[in-house]
Structure 1
Amino acid sequence: MTDPLPTQRNFYGRIRGKTLRASQKDYLAEDLGPLTLRGVTREDNPSRSPLDLGFAKGPLWLEVGFGGGEHLVHMAAANPGVTLIGAEPFVNGIAMLLGKIRGAGVANLWLHPGDVRDLFDVLPDGCLSKVFLNYPDPWPKARHHRRRFVTPEYLLPLALKMAPGAEFRVATDIPDYVRQTLEEVPPAGFDLVHQAGEGGAWDDWLSTRYEQKALREGRAPHYLTFRRCDQKG
């Protein structure tokens, strides 16, 4: 007898936005399937068995919530010896990314078009060497702060999937998100190694459309870099 699927998690946020263009619908129909990691969803993998990482050539990096995909594709193109995974449930963002992948011709990028927690369930422990969290949903209302990524529900499983010494980058334009990040990330198993404001981005940083919007509206970016402590930490 097959065990029932685990209870579905609550998911907050948009899955779809404005109507897709015809070209974007084509990207979703033609390109999403071949680039989607298998064995991540509960339907594909009800036993939550660890993923076979045979698809990964070289170090494995993850971007959580890739927005329009410009940073993810930039990193894939600049690091051909690395395999990247992008996790994003927002269909419009996925369609935008697929168009950028076609244009850039990168072949070292895989997708999970859904909740990143499902990916954390099945990634082998210690497999990630770099993780990006760029301009995450700020959930500005105080009663919604528990929905932010920088909470134990996300950070503790993330820490398990990262190798000792792995890098976790966070970029945000929301001062209160910086506050919560600095409070919540270290206890989950990370050391803060660098914090900078506008002009202090990483050398390989590509400014995203979300950052450009923040700058136009007068909000200053913040860049935080953490290292994963020893797994026993």
Structure 2
Amino acid sequence: MQNKNLATWGDDEKYFFNLFALAALALVALPVGIACVILGFGMGDSPCIMCWHERFCMVAVSFVALLIVRYGFKVKYLASIIFLTCLGLYDGFTHYSLDGTYGGYLDIKQGFGLEILGAHTQFWVVVVHFFIFLFLGVILFLGKNVGSIMKKSENGEYGEVLPSFTLGKIAVVTFVIIMGLNLIQAFITAGPPPYLASATPSRMSVDPSKWFWELDHWDGFEIDYRESWNPKLPNLPK
């Protein structure tokens, strides 16, 4: 089946797919782009291994949104966005419970993420994924004839791929650029396979002599159950 030209689409389709293109663009350009370009290349912040997984969830959600822009609104894409957002929330809450601003047991005010408006970046992971759910609800609420659009997408009535449109092209180009910068940052801070990102990474630098790659996490997942890093002194004999 041949693709329809965008001009022949109804206003409902144009509006709906433009909303998804805008959502994909905002997600990859703002939280992912800011974390990589401004915090990373600009301020030397290096993602830890958990930060990379959280960023992966945002990237994956944005990528699935672009699949909707290209192939239509299908059940498998909607389910993928919901699953990835739940995974991102789980990662964010777990990470923040360990390294959070207000008493994470690993954080003794040495950092583990730059602060934005007084909260570490781990906290903003939770905020971003919460807003993904919120914006998904807004898109489904504002979109008209969403059920009909999904049915047409599943039946291939729009064609094998959807026709290209301006906002969709901008979202794709932005995604490719931001992913390229993330690949560079990942190579600098984590290294090529089989190296993995560090739990306590050094500051990001373009100087290769300061790059630090490690294999520690291949040894298995370990949890440190130690108490405070500043224990009270014992009652020594006088």
Greater strand fraction, Structure 1 or Structure 2: 1
Query: Could you say which TM-score interval applies, normalised by the shorter chain?
Result: under 0.3
TM-score for the superposition, normalised by structure 1:
0.26
TM-score calculated relative to the size of structure 2: 0.26
The structure whose Rg is larger is 2
Structure with higher helix content: 2
Higher relative contact order (Cα pairs below 8 Å, separated by 6+ residues): 2
